[in-house]
Amino acid sequence: RSGLKAIIIDKSDSSYDLKISSEIGAMIPLVAGAHGKAFLSLLKDREINEILLHHKSKNNTHFSAKDKKQYLNDLIQVRKDGFAYEDEEYLEGIRALAVPLNLKRDDLQCAIWAVGLKSQIKERSLKTYTDFLKQIATKIESKV
């Protein structure tokens, strides 16, 4: 991450004809969506509060977290479950799952995530996607 932005450093695009894609090097808001929750879940509570203090609250959609308390509760859940999920919180019609990478460095927050159209990421498939992302995260963490 860089400040209040997450930087996309690599990607793998879906084979679907219609897909969501970002460019490598793109910077996206840190305090938004599953990716942001995964990144922030790696920080100490003091750092999270500092970031949220300087973040201008912007509800991207009507599904976005409405207040700081709700957002902090979401982060507690991410720490407990090991993944973040969002259903149209960042962009309408989009779902995402993110897994934080525990790289044992306080100065580096990383995550992997899958993003797709709501019609492509079905509720019944969430566990499959989450388990797959967690497996990839474990492989990455073991190489660092």
Q: Give pLDDT tens digits for 61-93.
A: 545 566 788 889 999 999 999 999 999 888 888
What is the rounded average pLDDT for all residues in the chain?
87
Per-residue pLDDT at 34? 94
Concatenating the DSSP letter of every residue in 20-34 gives ----TT-EEESSSHH
Average pLDDT over residues 134-138: 96
- The pLDDT, as a whole number, for residue 43 is 93
Alpha carbons 84 and 39: distance in angstroms, whole number: 10
pLDDT of residue 106: 78
Q: What is the mean pLDDT of residues 126-144?
A: 94
CATH number at residue 127: 3.30.450.40
Q: Taking residues 27-45, what's their average pLDDT?
A: 91
Structurally, the chain folds into a number of domains equal to 1
- DSSP letters of 78-140? HHHHS-EEEESSSSTTEEEEEEEE--S-TT--EEEEEEEETTTS-GGGHHHHHHHHHHHHHHH
pLDDT of residue 83: 97
What is the pLDDT averaged over residues 123-139? 95
Identify residue 6 by its one-letter amino acid code.
A
Q: Which structural domain, as residue segments, surrounds residue 103?
A: 5-143
